Amino acid sequence: EKGTYDHFMLKEIDEQPIVIRNIIQKYQHEDGSTRLDADIRAAMQQADRIYVIAAGTSYHAGLVGKQLLEQVANKPTEVHIASEFLYNMPLLSQNPLFVFISQSGETADSRGVLVDVKKKGHRTLTITNVPGSTLSREADFTLHTFAGPEIAVASTKAYTAQMAVLTLLAVDTAYAAGRTLDFDPIQELGIAANAMEALCNQKDEFEKIARDYLSVTRNAFFIGRASDYYVALEGALKLKEISYIQAEGFAGGELKHGTIALIEDGTPVIALATNEHVNLSIRGNVQEVVSRGAAAVIISMEGLDQEGDAVVLPRVHESIAPLVSVIPTQLIAYYAALHRGCDVDKPRNLAKSVTVE
């Protein structure tokens, strides 16, 4: 039920802080240790490489998950687009573990890979919002994202829930291997939930950005480096699917290799600048597009912010910053679609779950 909301998408955006807190409760014991099936823990320990398979927004969550699994858990990880994997299969390691990320658990492209790798005898884990779904039933193991039903076609809370569960999986794997971490990722998730809530309480700001920059434009660009790049991809997908604005996400450094030719007077460029070690270089990229006429919207973070930034996020740990930095892009996409008179919850040509290959 939509309750007081005009659209499921806005309701689901607002639910994200609660979803993250709920996931922490589900996956963490009171003494702070993680609660994961012993079988999943063992499968993670035995795997010498993780192959993440997903589509669309879930693929974008997988990209962030790769960083977590490598940096927190020290597990080599690759992320693949499900529809490409079978036709362009990488050489597999000795003991691969396949991790399928799917909100619906019904995506045919992902299922095609699952069926194939199972036949070859590889182990499989599904991270899904629907535990009874096909991908969940057919995989060896399931991790539930506990986001509650997601009705809007554009995925929001399922995406942040996937990243939170990937964080828990990475932490559990790290601890099980006896690693010590120099920060507490689960505590940081709690801090991220508070930051998400603060952003959900400043909707007017995002509505204004959407109105000022996106109500009449034909195209828009999102740029970022490191994990900000992954959020740029997700922000662009969200904007294009519900507002029909042609939007692309780029790695900041790639602009000069071609895309910058598209920048004209007034072209909106939304820049994510929440990663400390690339802050100067992404700001350099913003300069490059602004000097060619772009209308830049910079989303930065406390401690890294500069005068003129459109949005300054509360400070959160870099490894989970995407959970927070995606919120402005979700809200900007929502209001852009609204201002342009689009059907926010049911965009044209799209289905909530894609059950054909």
Applying CB under 6 A, the residues found at the interface with ligand F6R are: 55-58, 102-104, 107, 110, 154-155, 237, 241, 353-354
Specify whether the CB–CB gap between 10 and 200 falls below 8 A: no
CB of 48 to ligand F6R, least distance (A): 26
Is the CB of 34 or the CB of 103 nearer to ligand F6R? 103
Measured in whole angstroms, how far is the alpha carbon of residue 109 from the centre of its chain?
19
Task: Quote the CA–CA distance of 274 and 229 in Å, as a whole number.
Answer: 10
Q: Which is nearer to ligand F6R, 174 or 231 (CB)?
A: 231
Residues 55-86 as b/e (b if ≥16 CB within 10 A, e otherwise) read bbbbbbbbbbbbbbbebbbebebbbbbbbebb
Q: Which residue is nearest to ligand F6R (CB)?
A: 56
Given 26, 203, 346, 352, the catalytic residue = 352
By C-beta, is 77 or 155 nearer to ligand F6R? 155
> Coil, strand or helix: which one is 11?
helix
Nearest distance, CB of residue 294 and ligand F6R, angstroms: 26
Helix-, strand-, coil-residue percentages of the chain, each rounded to 5: 50, 15, 35
Question: Whole-number minimum distance, CB 104 to ligand F6R, in Å?
Answer: 3
φ, ψ for residue 131 (rounded to 5)?
-60, -30
Instruction: State in angstroms the smallest separation of the CB of 238 from ligand F6R.
Output: 6
CB of 276 to ligand F6R, least distance (A): 29
Of 102 and 136, which CB lies nearer to ligand F6R in the complex structure?
A: 102
Report residue 77: phi and psi, to 5°: -140, 140
Residue position matching structure tokens 């607002």: 14
Closest CB to ligand F6R among residues 248, 288:
248
The label of the residue with tokens 């072209």 reads 267
Q: Is 352 a catalytic residue?
A: yes
Active site residues: 352
